[in-house]
Chain A
Amino acid sequence: MFERLKAMLVKEFIQTFRDPRMRVVLFVLPMIQTVIFGYAVNMDVRKIPTAVIDRDNSPQSRELLQVLFASGHFRDSIRLDTEQQASRLLDAGSVRVALVINHGLAQQLGAGRTATIQALVDGSDSNTAGVILGYLSRFAEAQNIRLLTEKAARSGLTPSTAPRLESRAWFNPDLASPPFYVPAVIANILYIITMLLSAMAVVREKEIGTIEQVIVTPIRKYDFILGKTVPFVLIGYANVLLISLVGWLVFRVPVRGSIFLLILATGLFLMSSLGTGLFLSTISQTQQQAKMSAFFIIFIAMLLSGFAFPVDNMPLPVQWLTVINPVRWFMEIIRGLYLKGVGLSILWKQFGMLLLIGTMVLVTAVVRFRKTVG
């Protein structure tokens, strides 16, 4: 009985890897993608290009600016004379914020009055603008504490120090992005490649008519299904290994949790992705249909998986919808394993959901497959 399965597997492997470009697509591109994701996806806002119009040009104004730029959040890009110049640069997007210090800042501060710095902020990128506003208000607050204690010291009072915050990040002390995104790439790549491959591989045979040749061979349905899925299971595991290696070698992202749990979770996740692929192949006549349907599912599942947009921030009805999304559960597992090194005592719910969804999808697909194909 294994003879037939073996023959089928050999055929599938030959077919998948015959085109050398396909080998590149299946193994090299996921690694490149990991590198790009690791480097590119970074929500950190630093070195914001800043224009300055310093009309006061006093020791006080220069000191304030120096402190502001020393934080590393802002970059001292250009000094200007007029608001018109600033407005042109904001229009073109070459600076994100322009600070205007008018005459009299030093004088007002010296007289114990309130001095104002005007900040023109480009609000078109609302995320960055929000961060900029936050930095500016914290900067003003910190300066005010300094001005207050200095004044107190001059009046002969003991300058009391303000309470400080000491931040410490667990799991990822530098709050770096790669540990967050490398596991996410694994989930993305696995889902896309395995679903697309399995859906299109079956439909391809239908479309170009070779399925009839397969049917007249003594291969049974289960051999056919296994032949169309086992190679992709192996490709999936190979990708997990490759991406993990790139994550470790390039970004020093280790797997903290149990490797066994990683293998188990990948297997459960592949049940969902391959099951969906098989199911799509039963309802599609052409590869175009299979591909469009697969991408439709892939995009929605990706966007609702929490890979970049936290599930907790979604409206409640949408959060309920994500319960049936296998990518969401796999994403939580794989991030837990990578970053926190937690085990089944924390992740049992996610494993359970993945098993439940995978079983349902796979059983539905196989039942439908037996009825429709051949």
Chain B
Amino acid sequence: MTSVSSGAKDSVRRITAVGRKEFLHVLRDPRSLALGILMPLIMLFLFGYALTLDVDRVPLAVWDQDNSPASRELISRFEGSRYFSLRSHATSYADLEQAVDRREALIALVIPPDFADRLEQPGSATIQVILDGSDPNTATIAQGYAEAIALSWSRQVVMQQLLRRAPYALKAPQLEIRPRVWFNTDLVSRNFIFPGLIPVIMMIVAALLTSLSMAREWETGTMEQLVTMPVRRWELIAGKLAPYFCIGVVDLLLSVGVGYYIFSVPLKGSLLLLSGLSLLFLVGALSVGMLISIIAKSQLLASQLALLVTVLPAFLLSGFIFPLENMPAPIQAVSHIVVARYFVTILRGIYLKDVGLAVLWPQALFLLGFALLILTVAVQKFRKKLG
């Protein structure tokens, strides 16, 4: 009994010793430490203030060949919409081409010369819409807005025509779709981005900070000293992770705090659950960096690997901004091994939907399994041997 507890005590002592050494390393390099905290802050503020996928005031060019009351009314509907901003009136296709090439117009309306006359005939009056396909995201959204404006205007035109022909009131049935938005009622994109941003930030910081910690020892030759120390492998890794764990916790607190106090992102669910699962994710993320560092042995390789194995998947395949549902099946399959994906789901669930472990247990289980697996592999891969 005493030997077990004294063994545990020794373990703690050895971990503390390694941890202290690593802390000193971190403190001796204040710039890296500062960047490890500044980088998340800047990303939070960029995503909070500057970066948005919302599309409004799309630059619009118009070529009105008809110049009739009807065509002018249609154009004024586009002018009145907050989604478009009318920048130029063209008088030829060449004008439009110029405007699109110079990015002065992303969308252009061409109204044919006989537009008003055609409206009166049961034939077909068409309006041509030209989109700048070189920005397909914005073009698709702008096309949707244009269709909505044209549809509501069309309905009014049809209604007026019928009323003119049949002065007695024409009572037509109507369909109304009454939407009720749940979870993020005002569709604030910040509330959606923020919970997804936290996993990305933590993954980036954790991987960047730890990915060099072992490789550095190999490259500068201090690994020999570490190897000769009477420390077990897992104790060495635990001690080395300790300071980065602390930085990760600071980053987490900053992220949640900035979200709550500066960008007023509401946290509907349990803060306790959020903290617990975040720490679990942090351990997994740090272990990935550590594993890379152990395998790579060269700092240059380790930093490239960290970028490609952790940062890019966290950015692209976590559902943070780019919806996973739209991706082709093989890529969706790959996304299942991206740990950030599960944490994004967890945080969105806690932040926006106030769901608990009853719904989130599969994701939580994955975080736990991932952290244990990677830590074990890291300990196994780390050989206290030279050469």
Contacts and interface: CB of A to CB of B under 8 A. Distances in A.
B35 A292 contact: yes
B140 interface: yes
Given A44-B326, A144-B174, A180-B134, A160 B129 contact: no
A171 B106 CA distance: 12
Size bracket, chain B contacts: 35 or more
A91 B312 CA distance: 28
A170 interface: yes
A343 B252 CA distance: 47
B335 to A, nearest CB: 8
Contacts of A128: 323
B353 A300 contact: no
A296 B162 contact: no
Contacts of B180: 118-121
Contacts of A126: 184, 187-189, 191-192
Contacts of A313: 52-56
Given A36-B331, A124-B348, A179 B136 contact: yes
A138 B148 contact: yes
B170 A155 contact: yes
Given A116-B178, A127-B53, A151 B170 contact: yes
A122 B300 contact: no
Contact of B175 (A33, A144, A196): A144
B225 interface: no
B304 A42 contact: no
A212 interface: no
Interface string B163-188: 00110001111111111111111111
Interface stretch (A19-27, A213-221, A260-268, A269-277): A19-27
A335 B134 contact: yes
Interface stretch (A5-13, A200-208, A362-370): A200-208
Interface stretch (A50-58, A105-113, A223-231, A236-244): A105-113
Nearest to B118: A163
Interface string B124-168: 111111111111111111011111101111110111011001100
Contacts, number: 384
B299 interface: yes
B280 interface: no
B32 A289 contact: yes
Interface in A101-158: 108-131, 133-145, 147-149, 151-152, 155, 157-158
B301 interface: yes
A344 interface: no
A266 B115 CA distance: 48
B357 to A, nearest CB: 13
Contacts of B157: 162-163
Given A151-B170, A179-B134, A309-B53, A201 B300 contact: yes
A40 to B, nearest CB: 5
Nearest to A192: B307
Contacts of A340: 101, 134
A315 interface: yes
B187 A207 contact: no
Interface string B27-38: 001011001101
Given A43-B140, A110-B173, A138 B188 contact: no
B133 A196 contact: no
Interface in A1-49: 19, 21-22, 25-26, 29, 33, 36-37, 39-49
19 contacts: A22-B304, A39-B330, A42-B327, A43-B53, A110-B173, A121-B180, A139-B177, A143-B175, A148-B158, A162-B155, A169-B136, A170-B130, A170-B134, A176-B136, A288-B216, A288-B299, A292-B31, A339-B134, A340-B134
Given A167-B131, A303-B43, 11 more contacts: A42-B323, A91-B353, A113-B173, A114-B176, A124-B353, A148-B158, A170-B132, A172-B139, A192-B307, A310-B135, A313-B54
